[in-house]
Structure 1
Amino acid sequence: MLSELVHKRKRGEFLVGAAIGSGAIARAAERGDADFTLVLNAGRIRIMGAPSVACMMPLQNTNDMVFNLALHEVLPLTNRPVFLGLTAMNPNDDLDGLVDSARRSGCAGIINFPTVAHFPEATRAALETAGLGFSRELDLLRRARARSLVTIAHVTTLEQARLAALSGVEIVCFVYGWNAGGATGPASRHDLIEAAAIGTELRRTVTRVAPNCMIMLEGGPIEDAADLLQVLQHSKVDGYIGGSTIDRLPVETAVTNQTLLFKDAARSLARLRSGGARLLARARKVGLAGHSKSLMTLMERAEAAARGSLPITITGEAGSGRFRVANAIGTMRQPGRSAIEHLMVSELTPVQLTRTLFGHARQGNSRELLSEDNMIVVLRDLKDLPRRLQKRLVYYFDQGIYTPVGARGRRTGKAMMVFETSDSLKSLVDEGHLMPELARHLEVNELHVPPLRARPEDLDASLELALEELGASSEQIRFSAAAMRRIRLHVWSGNLTELRLFAGRLLAQNPGGAVSEQDVITLLGHSAKGFGRSGRTEREIILDALWRHGFHRGRTAEFLNISRKTLFNKIRAYGILEP
């Protein structure tokens, strides 16, 4: 088995191991071309609904659980090599007896798991003194290797990796911590840039003492293939072991989305029968596709608000479709008769904005939008609305009348006003961008556009519409089942904007034909750029510079305009390369 893995590595193949807790997941991993399977008590506990970290608790005999799972579920169902996760923390266990049982089971090798490596340093030291620490786990691995079993060392620090490599293990698997993400995953201790930096140091540490030892990564911030790709761009390792990323996270997402789809099937029928088809068709015309409950509720509230005369506020994340909701309101107000005018507050001076809305007595060519029949005025970037104009609007909403600039007579407004913002009204007030008096008027008809991830049942229809808007048909682009699963697993933090960019790149690179999962992974890696947060600490700036320069300290120091010594001190101070 070891020779097979070594041969794959020499051919340049990237190895993937699946740490699982049921026969069904093992069989699915084999169909996905996993190179080997690991039977761990953490996998079984995840299947039971608890987080992976619960595997460290004394719930039952860990080794008995693993042997039972391997013998009765995994080994009979998979042809891939199987590793058993055996712990050496039980002082009553005979290590030779454990290894002999592993050999008799027919497994290919063992891994030290659960491991003291996940305990705090003080706890690890106390267990080491008691003879139950990491040294005992290395002893277990030595005994297994002496009986021709392949060994994987599960480590969480560079020092543990060095000791494991010195002991002669064939594979060192560095674990960044328990997997983040999903319903039960904890927050990660590392981000992706740190993960790549640690991977680089890991390789240096291991290859110094054991040049032929294989190196694999697991856990922490790596939640999907796109995350792994980012780490691999600057960290040369031989493979990856997925636990939660292969069973818990995909199962959570797939079951949640599939259940929503089944539940929504009946809801869709009811909404269609009650006249919802008309609203959803109208939504689709302005670029909002789907039939989810949240989209239907949004359109119902938008239609109700359009019938009145009170101002409307549309909130939602960037790219979620606020602009499209405003256009939908325009079609609902007076179909075929309403005009809609979008004004970017940040692109107009306060004077220009005031004169455009309220008019100017001495300039006959000024628009005076508030006086126009069937006019819908959309003010975008509410955060940038000048304070003086806010006062005018408060008076207008209070009294229903306004006075053009430079005039004496008052006029009654006829236009409907719509406001757009990516911030909540409360946050705008708290940060001093919005007068509380104006906020009270705007919160009456507040429409929140849900992000795309909050309505996953609309994703397929939204993608189809995005392709149609770009001139492609559903027959022209054919997604494989695996490609669609990957699309549904993506977070879509950029919402409809990111989805449209993804569709545009897809058409540019693959104007016709089948779309594979790898195509989607590559394109999503591009489409996700530019949708992160802004505002960075010095630590983040240094990490980014290291990333951009392949973690070459000399070029990074030159780029940052600091000395190599200063950069080295900052790296140590921020613990960038320390696990």
Structure 2
Amino acid sequence: MPPNAAAITSPPQVQALVSYLEHEAQPMIVLDPAYNILAANTAYRRQFGTADRPFLGQKCYRVSHHYDLPCDQAGEHCPMKRAFELKGLDRVLHIHHTPRGPEHVDVELRPILDADHQVVAYVERLTTVKQASARASQAGLVGRSPAFNTALEAVQRVARSRLPVLLLGESGTGKELFASAVHEASDRHDGPFVVVDCSGLPETLFESELFGHEKGAFTGAQHRKPGLVETASGGTLFLDEIGDVPLAMQVKLLRLIESGTFRRVGATETQQADFRLVAATHKPLQQMVAEGRFRQDLYYRIAAFPIFLPPLRERAGDIPLLVDSFLQRGGKTAQRIVIQPAAMARLQAHDWPGNIRELRNVLERARLFADDGIVRPEDLPEWLNAPLQARPAPAATAATAAAAPDLDEQIRHLAAEGRLSRRDMAARLGLSERTLYRRLKALDLG
């Protein structure tokens, strides 16, 4: 038995479990039904414990969240409550306080049952999410708002599967970063991550770029060239703005996905494809299907696991974190830039129709005016400097309004299947449970 468990009084099966957990590489703890931490394996002590951070005998919610109450009473999802109700495993993405600061942690909680099917303890496995930061960061995804965490949790759930992923949301919401996060969290993370900008490829070049070509296949083809599908072998192929793929190419793309094979332009032999597909668009694909502008069979192939990425106005609490991150990203030799509270207030009051891309551009501009390293309100564009006042909720953009039928149809489909809990359905759709509840009510499905 590990040293941490020496003085713990618990049922024999729990003591045996504690000894077993020492052989696990992932951080794991044992909890009693009253939220007390009974024991922790070496991996947990190394990653989450320090000499001045006692945890044995402490309540898990105090150690991980600094709460005085269990998570569900503090407004969060409590995996212990859910695992008790299910008498089975529950999983949730939380932000935990760690020796390194706040971090996203994938929590998996499993109840231990006695012969009478009563819960005697819980085993909690904790996996730090490396694909996103809950603190200001110089690279990658950054955020900690509920809307951001919901989308990130969906990424963690689907990443290790082989399902195609479809990222939906307005322009500028970070689709490529989320696609990269799917890749990095998958079993293919050591392979290439290949981006195909479908909106930037003319129809005449699309097939050649995607599948490659043989020497002499067309005028100017002076040598054999591998395509992006071939380049992505063993990794992830990210089709950005898939809604812009020409109809003629959609047939060939469907064949690639269904058969896992392709032919270079001008070739006769068939090549085997080996990639994980992630696609993204800001366009309303289901509306395009109804209008005959996007193939229905292709849509259902790529939309096995849709994730809706929230616009910046729905994660306004992340703006200070994003601002700090962008101001850090000036390179090692760049002057450290800070922002005055009044300037931050202007940024938080804006609706950001261009989302994170627009915020980044505003900060890049402001950096050029911050000669002394301080961003002031006058360093921001004039249209951000209107007197601060309460603003009505922004009207839905054209992209949001057009995407609503897609979301409603997905909700109807999942509700009709009846296989998922409301929480799992929300995670599948990339929504908060509260937002899903409102949509279900609006569709008379609640």
TM-score (ref. length: structure 1): 0.41
- Look up the equivalent residue of 2:227 and give its one-letter code: E
Q: What's the CA shift for 1:264?
A: 7.8
Q: Identical aligned pairs, as a percentage?
A: 24
Q: Quick check: 1:286–1:324 contact (8 Å CA) kept in 2?
A: no
Q: Quick check: 1:476–1:513 contact (8 Å CA) kept in 2?
A: yes
The yes-or-no answer on 1:281 pairing with 2:133 is yes
Q: How does 1:101-120 map to 2 (within 5 A)?
A: none
The yes-or-no answer on 1:401 pairing with 2:261 is yes
Structure 1 gaps, min length 5: 1-261, 527-531, 535-579
Secondary structure of 2:213's aligned partner: coil
Q: Which moved more, 1:335-344 or 1:490-499?
A: 335-344
Instruction: Select 1:449's aligned residue among 303, 309, 312.
Output: 309
Q: What's the CA shift for 1:460?
A: 1.0
Q: What's the CA shift for 1:491?
A: 0.8
- Look up the equivalent residue of 1:370 and give its one-letter code: V
1:57-101 Cα deviation digits (max 9, x unpaired): xxxxxxxxxxxxxxxxxxxxxxxxxxxxxxxxxxxxxxxxxxxxx
The yes-or-no answer on 1:340 pairing with 2:193 is yes
The yes-or-no answer on 1:491 pairing with 2:323 is no
Secondary structure of 2:95's aligned partner: helix
The yes-or-no answer on 1:467 pairing with 2:327 is yes
Instruction: Select 1:367's aligned residue among 226, 229, 253.
Output: 226
Secondary structure of 1:354's aligned partner: helix
The yes-or-no answer on 1:511 pairing with 2:371 is yes
Q: Quick check: 1:313–1:446 contact (8 Å CA) kept in 2?
A: yes
CA distance in 2, matches of 1:473, 1:467: 13
CA distance in 2, matches of 1:348, 1:287: 26
Larger Rg: 1
Q: Quick check: 1:340–1:375 contact (8 Å CA) kept in 2?
A: yes
Q: Which residue is equivalent to 1:424?
A: 284
Q: What's the CA shift for 1:484?
A: 2.5
Residues 290 and 410 of structure 1, relative CA distance in 2, 3 Å threshold: same
CA distance in 1, matches of 2:186, 2:317: 28
Q: What's the CA shift for 1:285?
A: 6.3
1:373-418 Cα deviation digits (max 9, x unpaired): 2232222332321112111122222233334334444333102232
The yes-or-no answer on 1:317 pairing with 2:188 is no
CA distance in 2, matches of 1:361, 1:494: 41
- Look up the equivalent residue of 2:132 and give its one-letter code: L
Q: What's the CA shift for 1:357?
A: 2.2
CA distance in 1, matches of 2:104, 2:185: 18
- Look up the equivalent residue of 1:487 and give its one-letter code: L
1:481-531 Cα deviation digits (max 9, x unpaired): 3333332221111111111111112111113344444544737269xxxxx
Structure 2 gaps, min length 5: 1-73, 79-93, 98-102, 108-126, 218-222, 387-395, 399-446
Q: What's the CA shift for 1:439?
A: 0.7
The yes-or-no answer on 1:415 pairing with 2:275 is yes
Secondary structure of 1:440's aligned partner: helix
Secondary structure of 2:195's aligned partner: strand
Q: Quick check: 2:263–2:271 contact (8 Å CA) kept in 1?
A: yes
Q: Quick check: 2:95–2:134 contact (8 Å CA) kept in 1?
A: no
The yes-or-no answer on 1:294 pairing with 2:147 is yes
Q: Quick check: 1:359–1:366 contact (8 Å CA) kept in 2?
A: yes
Secondary structure of 2:277's aligned partner: strand
- Which structure is richer in relative contact order (CA contacts within 8 A, separation 6 or more)? 2
The yes-or-no answer on 1:381 pairing with 2:241 is yes
Residues 355 and 515 of structure 1, relative CA distance in 2, 3 Å threshold: closer
CA distance in 2, matches of 1:301, 1:449: 10
Secondary structure of 2:352's aligned partner: coil
Q: What's the CA shift for 1:474?
A: 12
Q: Which residue is equivalent to 2:158?
A: 305
Q: Which residue is equivalent to 1:204?
A: none
Q: Which has the higher strand share?
A: 2
Residues 356 and 309 of structure 1, relative CA distance in 2, 3 Å threshold: farther
Secondary structure of 2:142's aligned partner: coil
Instruction: Select 2:95's aligned residue among 228, 243, 268.
Output: 268
Q: What's the CA shift for 1:289?
A: 1.0
Cα RMSD after superposing both structures: 3.6
Task: State how many pairs are aligned.
Answer: 268
1:29-60 Cα deviation digits (max 9, x unpaired): xxxxxxxxxxxxxxxxxxxxxxxxxxxxxxxx
TM-score (ref. length: structure 2): 0.52
Q: Which residue is equivalent to 1:356?
A: 209
Residues 370 and 520 of structure 1, relative CA distance in 2, 3 Å threshold: closer
CA distance in 1, matches of 2:341, 2:76: 21
Q: What's the CA shift for 1:453?
A: 1.0
- Look up the equivalent residue of 1:448 and give its one-letter code: F
Residues 445 and 533 of structure 1, relative CA distance in 2, 3 Å threshold: closer
Q: Quick check: 1:378–1:418 contact (8 Å CA) kept in 2?
A: yes
1:168-215 Cα deviation digits (max 9, x unpaired): xxxxxxxxxxxxxxxxxxxxxxxxxxxxxxxxxxxxxxxxxxxxxxxx
Q: What's the CA shift for 1:463?
A: 0.8
- Look up the equivalent residue of 2:370 and give its one-letter code: N
Q: How does 1:85-234 map to 2 (within 5 A)?
A: none
Residues 336 and 522 of structure 1, relative CA distance in 2, 3 Å threshold: same
Q: Quick check: 1:476–1:512 contact (8 Å CA) kept in 2?
A: no
Residues 433 and 305 of structure 1, relative CA distance in 2, 3 Å threshold: farther
Instruction: Select 2:297's aligned residue among 437, 454, 463.
Output: 437
CA distance in 2, matches of 1:335, 1:311: 13
- Look up the equivalent residue of 1:413 and give its one-letter code: A
Q: Quick check: 1:502–1:524 contact (8 Å CA) kept in 2?
A: no
CA distance in 1, matches of 2:267, 2:149: 45
CA distance in 2, matches of 1:473, 1:489: 31
CA distance in 1, matches of 2:312, 2:397: 18
CA distance in 2, matches of 1:388, 1:305: 30
Secondary structure of 1:353's aligned partner: helix
Q: How does 1:473-484 map to 2 (within 5 A)?
A: 476-484=336-344
1:297-345 Cα deviation digits (max 9, x unpaired): 3223224433233332222111111122223233233576322222222
Residues 411 and 277 of structure 1, relative CA distance in 2, 3 Å threshold: closer
Secondary structure of 1:417's aligned partner: strand
Q: How does 1:559-578 map to 2 (within 5 A)?
A: none
1:197-255 Cα deviation digits (max 9, x unpaired): xxxxxxxxxxxxxxxxxxxxxxxxxxxxxxxxxxxxxxxxxxxxxxxxxxxxxxxxxxx
CA distance in 2, matches of 1:281, 1:517: 27
Q: Quick check: 2:346–2:384 contact (8 Å CA) kept in 1?
A: no
Residues 367 and 411 of structure 1, relative CA distance in 2, 3 Å threshold: closer
